[in-house]
Chain A
């Protein structure tokens, strides 16, 4: 799949050391649009949209930030903790605004599965359907995300 100049620019911004230490593509050799298209196929199969996932992640993140410090139990199903550090990060897709540097760790209490995401992850999933490349430190496998965030939908698959 041929890449547009915009995609090439975004890919450049996703390289290690530009916005984050390891970048957003990991060891993934696929062009950016293929990475996004492949994950979109997974979502289609599971009948969930990227904005729905992002909304759920945002909800859990917001709830966890009500806690002054440490993790909290949300809806009796999740233990969630969000750590915030100094500074903000821009979106590699040249989207407006900056995202706070946060890491949210979420454990589904029934399955014991733990996943973690950043504020930038939520933004990139919501606005760009991008879950990061394979091997990236903050890559989120859509299947795993759905297992944790939408256990019923995962069961349907």
Chain B
């Protein structure tokens, strides 16, 4: 009986070992795709050993297509146009692509395996995106659910970004989280300080990245991110500007104001910050301080539901009714908005009704 059991275990082990060996050999020889080429925008050619995902292949060559799930095919962020190669559309891609995207050869870079030469097209701005390592220099509590995080860069040591752009913070494996994920946060600091960035991060219940930042991240911790991304930045004109933000939407506006205070501007600017109660206000002193820096700037916090005990002396209600008073030349006004889609929609509608040109309303509606 005992001998029989040992024999069975031995045979099973031999068969398993044999199968594993066959798999290793198959991986080594059958999956050898040789050298493959990736032609990017007809301008850059990468040669690599075939077999890895397009996302990884590009990332190994310092080209970072935005990805929020670390290449697991669950976020649908890493879209790019694949003009040749790439194979047929996979079932894992279809749920995350629109019909228009599918007909336009848009694919998920994380799902495509580079097995032959591939020709792709990506936005030019992606060439400026890098992966950065840094150390958390400072974490500040701004409100009960918003923190400011300053990261000092270590590798590379500097970053080139435009005020208003964002980065993708990479969340490590922690607690119940078994895979790395990336999440987008606007940079809130001045691009003039290229050795540090500041992020303003609001806690989201059940959020993988915000829970990590709010409950696990400490000063001195290593951190990595990719960026910069996005086209939410000020246009170089002489038009009046109105900024409207809520919650952590203050981040890119703060970056823009810090940038403008360094380079100087005489443009007329008004900044409306919408919040519910005094508990939701933060960096109020810092924003009012810009009134002393710029020739024509005013910061106006507006509370929708101030608590009686807060004895709020400022404006009450929503931000839209304040527009006619602040926007004196609608046709010559640019609007920069950052907040929830509902906020953006309401504000856009009110601005257009007032006469602000639609194509001069720029916004970041929380992706």
Contact = CB atoms under 8 A, between A and B. Distances in A.
A87 B206 contact: no
B183 to A, nearest CB: 6
Interface string A1-30: 000000000000101111111110000000
Interface string B188-221: 0000000000000010111110010000000000
Contacts of A86: 183-185, 204, 248, 366-367
B176 A94 contact: no
Contacts of A23: 176
A16 B173 CA distance: 12
A97 B68 contact: no
B interface, over-half SS? loop
Interface of A: 13, 15-23, 65-70, 82-88, 90-91, 94-98, 100-101, 103, 137-138
A90 B342 CA distance: 21
B176 A16 contact: yes
A113 B141 CA distance: 33
A137 B342 contact: no
Contact of B96 (A16, A96, A138): A96
B366 A90 contact: no
Given A18-B179, A90-B75, A96-B95, A69 B343 contact: yes
A68 B74 contact: no
Nearest to A66: B342
Contact of A90 (B74, B246, B276, B305): B74
B316 interface: no
B242 to A, nearest CB: 16
B148 interface: no
B315 interface: no
B274 A68 contact: yes
A21 B211 contact: yes
Contact of A97 (B96, B208, B248): B96
Interface in B322-367: 340-343, 346-347, 366-367
Given A69-B318, A84-B366, A87-B184, 13 more contacts: A18-B74, A18-B179, A21-B176, A68-B318, A68-B343, A85-B204, A85-B340, A87-B366, A90-B95, A94-B92, A94-B95, A98-B75, A98-B76
A19 B342 CA distance: 24
Contact of B342 (A82, A96, A103): A82
A32 B326 CA distance: 55
B97 interface: yes
